[in-house]
Amino acid sequence: MALLALLPPLLSIITTVAALLATYIFYRLFLYTPFFSPLRHIPGPPKEHVVYGNMPSIVREPPGLLHTQWSEKYGGVVKYSGVFSEDRLLFTDPVALNHIFSHAYDFPKPQDVRGELARILGKGILFAEGDDHKRQKKVMNPAFSPSHLRNIAPTFFECTYKLRDKFHELIESSTSDPSCFASDASFATYESTKPSGEIVLNISTWLSRVTLDVIGQAGFGYSFGAVEGQTTVLAAAFQKMFAAGGTKKPLTPFWITVGRGLGKLLTVMPVDISGWLPIDRLKRLKAGLEALENESAKIVQERKRVVEAEGEESLTSSKDLMSLLLRSNISGDPKTMLTDAELQGQMTTMLLAGHETSGTSLTWLLWRLSQNPKIQDRLRAEVRAARRAAIQAGRDEISSDELESLEYLDAVVREILRLESPAPATIRTPLKDELIPLGTPVLSPNGDTLTSVVVPAGSVLFLSIAAVNKSKKTWGEDAEEFRPERWLEGKIEGGVGVYSHILTFLAGPRACIGYKFALLEIKTILAVLIDDFAFAEREPGLEIERRSALVMRSLVKGEEHLGFRMPLRMSLAPKDDE
């Protein structure tokens, strides 16, 4: 009876809450953005969908395309709608971007985009914020200095030689990869008609393996043996994660909305409930991350044990980044020392940040070269001339400094990093209301000229790397073309970034700490491979699609169901006198 008496007031509370919620949703969806949002004066495309905002066309088009088009049409700051009609600000104006990146600590990554990765990498530099980040960066900087990179350059060559030898073995035994073809029948046709000395390989798998070996060896003195086909616990963890991190189907606005809602929920929950959710992808990601965390902890502990048993000298002969970190941690100021958890966080961070990024850059690069035999020839001639000079000087190989001085190699690498940035964008949110200056004013919908914009605390700022790197204003009408020669034609004006006017490695205190490592790694792998091998498309004009899955991956158009791949024809490169 008593319970029954409670029913009417309970019902009335539920009705009131539901009515308030409905009113709030109506206000957010229909009234807030056009009439009350402080961002309503910023130009941008009309909202397409009441719940999904502009997401339907963003997911329909190739990654970054709409952001590039919007910034061309509306200017360096554009307002568009995300899921739940959340206002998003797209910034491409170089002055605005410099302001945001140079005040990096006032514009951290939003909590919900940090997601699951941050749970494991939380103690590493990528997700550290404020003073923690400054302290970690100070300890880590020496490990990425040019002099230290010179020391680890031989490791880059050693790992690449293993890949080169493997490719020779596969060409000699005429072993193509059947998974590069749409069907058994098309593989059989290729096998029966192929020119002698040619094979087809999924180049992205091999480049992913070699960059894993490089970061394992140069980063931690750890041998993944990925090119040789070994399966270590760490390599298996990676495999799990990247299988989980990518989806061959484009995400629909509905699933993006669910994903964002879930991300927000997970960040506000006091306990980690992600393992209980019946989502296979999340479970695999979590299992991979946990294995990664456990193995990293073991490696760090083993290193520390050796240092404790044998003294600091045990590190002197080791050239990997972790040894250097341990050394600067021991000899540095105790106040700035990294904790064990932070050391381990750096290891998982570098494995994640420094492996597939370089691997996919190389994949896109070999694809572009496969379409451009003339660029391949010019690059090969430059590398061979440098090798001949090194051999005449009594050395086996070109030095890292000589590699750095090769102009055309440098132009090719800059061009691929401009055009095919592994990360297409990043997101930031201001901690407090901010006034962001614009280098070029934009016109608001009511005709006012805006020379700066006020962004309230908590706004979502979408910083499109792709749009900046392909801006016609900076790069000219052929901005979308792969044309390394542009880097040899004189001074480039405009753009923004820590490296070469491009945003690929971002800018300011939160720019990629490993970018010089990545440049040397990419140049080494490319120089070794291009000297020995020639690359061509599987079929002339084969269409390749881009899909953003942690990094920008490749799919063959019409064969998307077969997963991320980059099938290329490979043969021995002609000798100089041929």
Write out the binding residues for heme. Answer: 512
Residue of 436, 435, 424, 443 lying closest to 75 (CA atoms): 443
Among 68, 357, 363, 554, binds ligand HEM (CB under 6 A): 357
Among 66, 117, 126, 241, binds ligand HEM (CB under 6 A): 126
**Which lies closer to ligand HEM via its Cβ, residue 475 or residue 505?**
505
Q: What is the DSSP string of 510-549?
A: GS-TTHHHHHHHHHHHHHHHHHHEEEEESSTT--EEEEEE
Q: Report if residue 353 touches ligand HEM, rule: CB under 6 A.
A: yes
Shortest reach from residue 264's CB to ligand HEM, in Å? 19
Among 96, 125, 163, 289, binds ligand HEM (CB under 6 A): 125
DSSP for residue 18: H
Whole-angstrom CA distances from 564 to 205, 364, 547, 554 are 9, 13, 9, 5
The secondary element (H helix, E strand) that includes residue 144 is none
Shortest reach from residue 193's CB to ligand HEM, in Å? 37
Among 257, 474, 504, 524, binds ligand HEM (CB under 6 A): 504
Among 226, 241, 386, 423, binds ligand HEM (CB under 6 A): 423
Residue 294, Cβ density class (10 Å: 0-12 exposed, 13-18 middle, ≥19 buried): middle
Whole-angstrom CA distances from 528 to 280, 382, 454 are 40, 12, 50
Residue of 202, 157, 152, 143 lying closest to 523 (CA atoms): 157
Instruction: Tell me, residue by residue from 193 to 232, as one string, x for binding to ligand HEM by CB under 6 A and - for no binding.
Output: ----------------------x-----------------
Q: Report if residue 459 touches ligand HEM, rule: CB under 6 A.
A: no
Among 79, 148, 380, 510, binds ligand HEM (CB under 6 A): 510
Stretch that binds ligand HEM, among 5-13, 259-267, 438-446, 500-508 (CB under 6 A): 500-508
Residues 244, 331: Cα–Cα separation, whole Å: 40
Shortest reach from residue 138's CB to ligand HEM, in Å? 11
**Which lies closer to ligand HEM via its Cβ, residue 253 or residue 422?**
422
108 close to 428: Cβ distance less than 8 angstroms: yes
Residue of 369, 390, 365 lying closest to 378 (CA atoms): 369
Please report, in angstroms and rounded to a whole number, the separation of the first and last CA atoms in the chain.
99
Q: Report if residue 422 touches ligand HEM, rule: CB under 6 A.
A: yes
The secondary element (H helix, E strand) that includes residue 260 is helix 253-268
Q: Report if residue 349 touches ligand HEM, rule: CB under 6 A.
A: yes
Q: Report if residue 398 touches ligand HEM, rule: CB under 6 A.
A: no
**What's the number of CA atoms in the CB half-sphere (13 Å) around residue 79?**
22
Q: Provide the Cα torsion 202, 520, 510, 287; round to 10°.
A: 40
Shortest reach from residue 125's CB to ligand HEM, in Å? 5
**Which lies closer to ligand HEM via its Cβ, residue 149 or residue 556?**
149
Among 53, 94, 115, 514, binds ligand HEM (CB under 6 A): 514
Residues that bind ligand HEM (CB under 6 A): 125-126, 137, 215, 349-350, 353-354, 357-358, 361, 422-423, 426, 504-506, 510, 512-514, 517-518
